[in-house]
Chains A and B, each alone.
Chain A
Amino acid sequence: MNKPSTSTKLQRGLSVMLLTSLVLSGCTDGGGSTANENSGKDGGTAVANDGPFGKYEPPIEVSFVRNLSDVVENNVLGVLKNETLEDNRWSRLYEEKLGIKMKYDWVVKGNPTSDQYLQKINVTLASGDLPDFIPVNATQLKQLADSDQIEDLGAIYEKYASPMTKEVLRQEGSSPFDAVTMDGKLMAIPQVESSIERAMFIWIRTDWLEKLGLQPPKTMSDVLAISKAFTEKDPDGNGQKDTFGLGVTKDLWGGAMGLEGFMAGYKAYPSIWIENSSGKLEFGGIQPEVRKALQALQTMAKNGEIDQEFGIKDGGKVSEQISAGKIGMEYGEQWNSIWPLQLGKDNDPKSQWQAFPIVSESGETPKVPLKFSTTRFWAVKKGAKHPEALVKLFNMHLEKNWGETEEFNKYFAPPEAESVWQLSPVTPYPLKKNVEAFRAIDAARKAGDTSALKGEAKTIQEKLDMFASGSKEGFGLWGWERIYGAQGSMGVVDQYDKNKQFLMEKFVGAPTPTMVERDATLKKLQNQVFVNIILGEPIETFDKFVNDWKQLGGDQITKEVNEWYASTK
């Protein structure tokens, strides 16, 4: 998850301002001249009108489609009076600096992974009435490429991507490009997502730990003991046995209240493809370690440490329980303190949560599984007049937020509307930006001087200061303090990173043919069996599941995945 931050600072160094105008606009208002020299950071790598930041004269129009999330609708457009989805600081910037006007063919409410959005985009693909630039997932990309409807972007990317774009898109290796390269052609620009942002932590209510005289966990048996104590020793002190040790949702996996981190404690990685000792890929969900982890969960559920009703509760429902102070532990990502935990904090200011590193059964340092998280690829409709405009948008988005001419406060996360970056249709970001920001803040904190921080780190530090001030407004920033503060989750990421604990998913290609056919069935089967085992079905059901999984296409998928894997070597 991309993490915005805030600042009240509005000043910019004069030199930065000058540079901005030179690089981004100065070179294009030369009226009759066609080849102004390129000034500033790109050091003359391209002719101004045709470089990574070249402006179209007259302006061009390109069409998009997009989703409108609740966050953008309420927290961005809801508070910014003079901006709409079609006309806002990003669209104005793109038009002013690049000469690119944006038009949305349609807008659907919901998140980019929501069913509504998926349906709408699938229907758009089926109708053949594509926008110029279309954000797709791996399956859709493969269909588009197979039917020869999109442009090969290889040469365009090489020519137009700014050095920063090229660097950012390669930050976690070549996987994102492996995923979009078909027959040697670059069929889309991957909008890279940070995998390490998806690392799991154990979020625990530390006020309960203290109350019951417990220590943070070092091994899985500590985790189980804490869960048991949270359930049985009445940590909320209301005299009733109405608390749960561990929060779980009916979907089992996910960035909040998911089980990936718990299972990793048993060396089980049930939602990713891993490499076995002989260098072959295999599916994590059918390994014997998963059985062991399920067994443990079943015992917990039997003891009442997991809500017997979790099987029908989605994230929203479980977060209601958390905010009501009924759950003391959950596995999730670094942002969980902002949602859902801040809800609980708001309800009960005395409650306190902290992210701890995940632990293993034996006490050795566990691997932290990371799902390949780049799922959005930007394809360009075949015959679109200006395919390179897409690359220019990428360049500009990165430059304006993290480049030398950054106006982070204006374009990424101004205090009044922190998610303003989402108004841009393309939203790439440096993959380690958050942990880097933490490192900068932490170093400054240890040195006792935070005044030299800049950019994103500075805006985050301002939040931390505001929280530390104890003001009412600052209280709402508790979630941020839990991420970037001295005990913050980012400190754990830092530790994971330095210990080289990350276990990256190995399969990153488009779904194989059998996967396309069988994935829905197999996922359903897996979810159903796992939920039922946790709720008390005999553990032997797992063995049957493994057999079923293999027979229902799993073996074939494994074969195809390994063929793909061999082809990338």
Chain B
Amino acid sequence: MSDTDLQNEAIKVDTEKGNFSYPENYEFDAGVGLTEDTVKYISDVKKEDDWVREFRLKALEIFKKKPMPTNWATKDLETIDFDKIRYYLSKGQQPSRTWDEVPDDVKETFERLGIPEQERKFLAGVEAQFDSEAAYSRMKEDLEKEGVIFVGSSEGLQKYPEIFRPYFGKVIPASDNKFAALNSATFSGGSFIYVPKGVKLKQPLQAYFRINAENFGQFERTLIIADEGAELTYMEGCTAPKFETSTLHSAVVELVALKGAKIQYITVQNWSDNVFNLVTKRGMADEDAEVKWIDCNIGSRLTMKYPGVVLKGQRARGEVLSIALANDGQHQDTGAKMMHLADNTTSNIISKSISIGKGQSTYRGQVHMPKHLKNCKNNTECDALLINTNSRTDTYPAITTRGQHNTVQHEASVSKVSAEQIFYMMQRGLSEAEAMSLAVNGFVNDLMKAFPMEYSVELKRLIDMEMEGSVG
């Protein structure tokens, strides 16, 4: 085996864990392709109010008009055939409050992925989505008493319109981009969370997203509102089995952190390598509020995701920490956006990427400090690790600065695993594959430290497991 092959072996990511599926028997199926009827069908099934139906239909118009982002995006986007996708599939279940009520195949799916086990261990609440709809949703009772709401977005729309509606589609309007419009027209599933004034959740809330059906598009919609002084951590995980044909995941996630609130949103996704993962995520931070995105992208064929924070109030703070691993045949096109709109706002972006074989990782960023702002700061660091001689990485930040006493700094570097390091570790008895695996872990290690402890352990285990799977 050549050095290159060995290196390839060493860090080949294993997506096998999620690679299983169950026979498809759905009660509701909007069919293949996207028309007004598809949208109306979804709205009917969900018994939505007129304003939601109109919101969807208007978004469909925008989707049809908007061009694909082709002037800079990868050509691979053009292979998506919107007429061959199924936009809504559900078993017609209401989200169960107890694990026993969950349909057996769905239950088994999540048990294989370890969801209830995690809940018992350290979660404050969990929601599990199977294709289009939430299958299971539960939250600790004491939190319910404090007024915390954690339900699927459909349930949120029905039961809490007075909280939901004022913020829905405000952080990310349907016209934001073609895929935000697509989601706005066809959204289903996702989470709605409201944390009342001053309530600080000590344990994280978690959602799990699972694509089971072939040729399917998952369009979950999440809205999280942290009222004044509230704090929460939300974690999401995603998997899909490997199908011959591609699958589309196009979520919209809106975060609203009111005065002094803190939201931390953690994503670990391990999609199989035929999923197009085109997601719009943005948070709004009011005065003294903080929005922090922690984003780990491991699988998928193409990920395009640039979590952003609109720093709307004085002293607001935004942060994006991200890790991307692009294996052969994958493109992780990720990054961050920081829009400074008030004085004394600060933001921080740290991005680490690893490219293996012909895998391509791209950082695309935007930092914007418009007119007459004072004392704003941004710091951006991008580090890329290239494993093979023909691995590829790109960095395209865009920084606009105006105003007084604002400072922006951006730094990026590209490196490879040091041959000396590998040699040293092999001398101490590690195989080349293990050494490589250790080096890659070392590269992301300082970022992992920024994660909440429980999650950092889980993520490390996930990376380790995937690395180990290919050793020997």
- Are A and B interaction partners? no
Binding site for B on A (CB under 8 A): none
Binding site for A on B (CB under 8 A): none
